[in-house]
Structure 1
Amino acid sequence: MTNQNLYVDINVLQTVPSSNINRDDTGAPKTAIYGGVSRARVSSQSWKHAIRESFKANDITTGIRTKEAVQLLADKLNEIDTSLDEDAALVKAADIFKAAGIKVSKDNETGALLLISPGQIEKLAQYATDHDELDKKEVKTLLKSDNSLDLALFGRMVADNPELNVEGSAQVAHAISTHEVVPEFDYYTALDDLQSDDTSGAAMLGTIEYNSSTLYRYANLNVNELAHNLGESSAVQGAADFIKSFLLSMPTGKQNTFANKTLPNYVMITVRTDTPVNLVTAFEDAVASKHGYVAESVKKLEDEYQSTLRFVDQPVSTIVLSDSKYHSKLDDQAANLSELLKRVTEVLTKAVQDEDTTN
């Protein structure tokens, strides 16, 4: 795509009310110690899952993470070659994965979860139908081609055969609150509808821990790596789809209990050619306020952005989308999400075209 490095930083401030969107093993909201105080935390894995679900909801093809890839391939073989019975298709499908160096159990399951795209299943099935002998190199090549967007973004690790690994083009940070959080507990009860009126007491009682926070969320994207994984023609649109889903998605933990689905209050997207920059250091000194955290968080984030320019190259572009209640000191601002995505797409397209012209 281009010899020049091309990175996209996505910085988001988002207020979440009483919630428990990402729990630890005790059922409590995840936390982290940063700057010497406890912060609310939402794991990157949790938000990546939410992004993948957003892709599905928007009809963007996603991969399938499963131990039953053999069965998926056997089903596709049966679609293409109706003369194969189910047992023969399973044997053939297992042989294909074994040829790629992936261990298959007697139950036709892979030893670990395997992320595989529908396109890879389709191509492997067609290859197996067209060839009586399996070429290991060809099979491996097919397993690394036609990646889905989530596979291209988040990568794939195959312990059985590292040749089949896909280096992820996106990095997603654990979201943390810009301020200190103190855990709170909701004590709740439930009554039995058939309980007689003269019977007192609850049929069930319990507690749930929750907190509320202004989260700093960060992700970056290596556009060249995305082009390598996804194909040059699809990389810029893939970047736009990722940005949109990152901004609008949210993990669904305890969503029915708290109805905590909110939208970002502030977004800063920066396109760079030197290195990604996580601006979380803006909040190492936790924000303290009795009148809301977003306004001060916006100020600290933009101050940190300006400060980092002493250490890195001038970005190709920095575009801000902010809730009208919060003032941004940066000049380049988008009016709405559609405009933000359009302008980022234009910047990436131009950067790619300019580099191609000079080569």
Structure 2
Amino acid sequence: MTKRLYVDVHILQTVPPANLNRDDNGNPKEAYFGGKRRSRVSSQAWKRATRMHFAERCGPQDLATRTKRIAGQLAKRLQERTGIAAQDAERIAGAVLKPMGITAGKKAGDTAYLLFFGRRQLESIVGLVADDATDLSALEDKALEEAVAGLPVREQLQNGHPADVALFGRMVADIPGLNVDAATQVAHAISTHATELEFDYYTAVDDENTADETGAGMIGTIGFNSATLYRYATVGVHQLQENLGEDKAAIEAIDLFVDSFSRSMPTGYANSFAHRTRPSLVAVVVRTDQPVNLVSAYERPVPNGDGVVSASARRLADEYRTATRQWGDAPLLTAVCHTLGDDDADGTELAEAFGTNKTFPQLLDALKAALGAELDAR
């Protein structure tokens, strides 16, 4: 059995007035924690933001897409590669996918649910029929289905996973063989302090109003709040190795994830609030026992006042020191990058807990080196 190995990522990030992730009423999502209302950003929102950031580090062909339109995507690629008519490409794509038993959606050509698959995996499926596409397009529907029935289509989706499928997994309820266990768990981000929902009342003026016309052309409200968020995610390196099949690919995927998880931001109402910030603190911990979310540092909310992020950082450092001491933890690596003062009380407490302050590139390099050394030793 592969030994367990986890990379925990702890982030503190201050966000100005914003509506990063709205609820069914259009207001920022919230949660009660420690008996107080907190700002919340769902794990799904930040996972998508992270995946979208992947595109800045990887080419499109090295990533995955989540869509109901796998048949349409397959037909489009088949037509581009072979030059056959669009209608013929659609017939072949439908016949190729039919033996898999994917439940059809209400709209023609759609599946009943979103499928998460790699673009290279789709190209591999195209490769199974591309050379024979002209001959296949001449067959009647029944003969076409018989001709492609034995092709290893499912195997193309079971192997060669891109980093984002390997990290976030894939669930296909009616085809368990296509499931991929996620190597990554992402917590809902919550504010380290109590928050209150506020509303921005806005008006828009009609530019074509004449001098004697008054009043607004549009009136509305947007809910918002501002917060210092605690964000947490963990990557099971052993599961990632299984999903990707090699140590080097797993290390590169973790580097990609930590970089993108740290730099990404959900885009809800971005044009209205310009809320994009960078974290004040990123800490990584490599463990061999189990993931440890340090949100208990904020069960008692940080008082709203001067220096919320500084107080939050000290709380995090104290919680980490206490947890490692009381539970006898011995992490393989602890590293931190922060923008708080190195020489004041904040910097001293953070250094005692997480080590010397590093630049973010140095943190990523230290993480890769520690993982490489540990995997080489196994």
Are the counterparts in 1 of residues 40 and 188 from structure 2 also a CA contact under 8 Å? yes
Aligned to 1:354: 377
Deviation at 1:9, TM superposition (A): 0.2
The alignment status of 1:308 with 2:309, answered yes or no, reads no
Aligned to 1:7: 6
2:353 is paired with a residue whose SS is coil
Aligned to 2:28: 29
The C-alpha deviation readout for 1:301-320, integer Å capped at 9, x for no partner, is: 11111222223631111101
User: What amino acid is the match of 2:334?
Assistant: T
Aligned to 1:123: 124
Structure 1 gap ranges (5+): none
The C-alpha deviation readout for 1:177-209, integer Å capped at 9, x for no partner, is: 000001112121221222223333222222221
1:50 is paired with a residue whose SS is helix
**Separation in 2 of the partners of 1:112 and 1:289?**
43
Aligned to 1:322: 338
Q: Which moved more, 1:332-341 or 1:245-254?
A: 332-341
Aligned to 2:258: 243
Are the counterparts in 2 of residues 173 and 218 from structure 1 also a CA contact under 8 Å? yes
**Separation in 2 of the partners of 1:27 and 1:288?**
27
Aligned to 1:109: 110
Deviation at 1:139, TM superposition (A): 2.4
Q: Which moved more, 1:64-73 or 1:191-200?
A: 191-200
Aligned to 1:99: 99
Q: How does 1:270-289 map to 2 (within 5 A)?
A: 270-289=285-304
The C-alpha deviation readout for 1:316-358, integer Å capped at 9, x for no partner, is: 1110111133421335234311111111010111110011xxx
User: Relative to structure 1, is the Cα distance of residues 139 and 181 closer, same or farther in structure 2, using a 3 angstrom cutoff?
Assistant: same
Aligned to 2:135: none
**Separation in 1 of the partners of 2:191 and 2:354?**
26
Are the counterparts in 1 of residues 206 and 217 from structure 2 also a CA contact under 8 Å? yes
Structure 2 gap ranges (5+): 133-146
Give the length in aligned residue pairs.
352
Are the counterparts in 2 of residues 80 and 126 from structure 1 also a CA contact under 8 Å? no
Aligned to 2:137: none
User: What amino acid is the match of 1:266?
Assistant: L
1:143 is paired with a residue whose SS is helix
1:57 is paired with a residue whose SS is coil
1:15 is paired with a residue whose SS is strand
Q: Which moved more, 1:176-185 or 1:141-150?
A: 141-150
The alignment status of 1:200 with 2:214, answered yes or no, reads yes
Deviation at 1:225, TM superposition (A): 1.2
Deviation at 1:133, TM superposition (A): 4.6
TM-score (norm: length of structure 1) = 0.92
The alignment status of 1:213 with 2:227, answered yes or no, reads yes
Which has a greater percent of helix? 2
User: What amino acid is the match of 1:107?
Assistant: A
User: Relative to structure 1, is the Cα distance of residues 202 and 107 closer, same or farther in structure 2, using a 3 angstrom cutoff?
Assistant: closer
2:88 is paired with a residue whose SS is helix
**Separation in 1 of the partners of 2:123 and 2:208?**
55
**Separation in 2 of the partners of 1:246 and 1:129?**
38
% identical equivalent positions: 41
User: Relative to structure 1, is the Cα distance of residues 341 and 111 closer, same or farther in structure 2, using a 3 angstrom cutoff?
Assistant: same
User: What amino acid is the match of 2:322?
Assistant: S
Deviation at 1:59, TM superposition (A): 3.0
Deviation at 1:115, TM superposition (A): 1.2
The C-alpha deviation readout for 1:218-238, integer Å capped at 9, x for no partner, is: 000011211222231311011
User: Relative to structure 1, is the Cα distance of residues 331 and 9 closer, same or farther in structure 2, using a 3 angstrom cutoff?
Assistant: closer
The alignment status of 1:143 with 2:157, answered yes or no, reads yes
**Separation in 2 of the partners of 1:186 and 1:76?**
46
Q: Which moved more, 1:300-309 or 1:176-185?
A: 300-309
**Separation in 1 of the partners of 2:212 and 2:77?**
62
**Separation in 2 of the partners of 1:91 and 1:69?**
13
The alignment status of 1:153 with 2:154, answered yes or no, reads no
2:305 is paired with a residue whose SS is coil
Q: Which moved more, 1:127-136 or 1:313-322?
A: 127-136
**Separation in 2 of the partners of 1:86 and 1:14?**
48
**Separation in 1 of the partners of 2:114 and 2:165?**
13
The alignment status of 1:260 with 2:275, answered yes or no, reads yes
TM-score (norm: length of structure 2) = 0.88
Aligned to 1:339: 362
The alignment status of 1:51 with 2:50, answered yes or no, reads yes
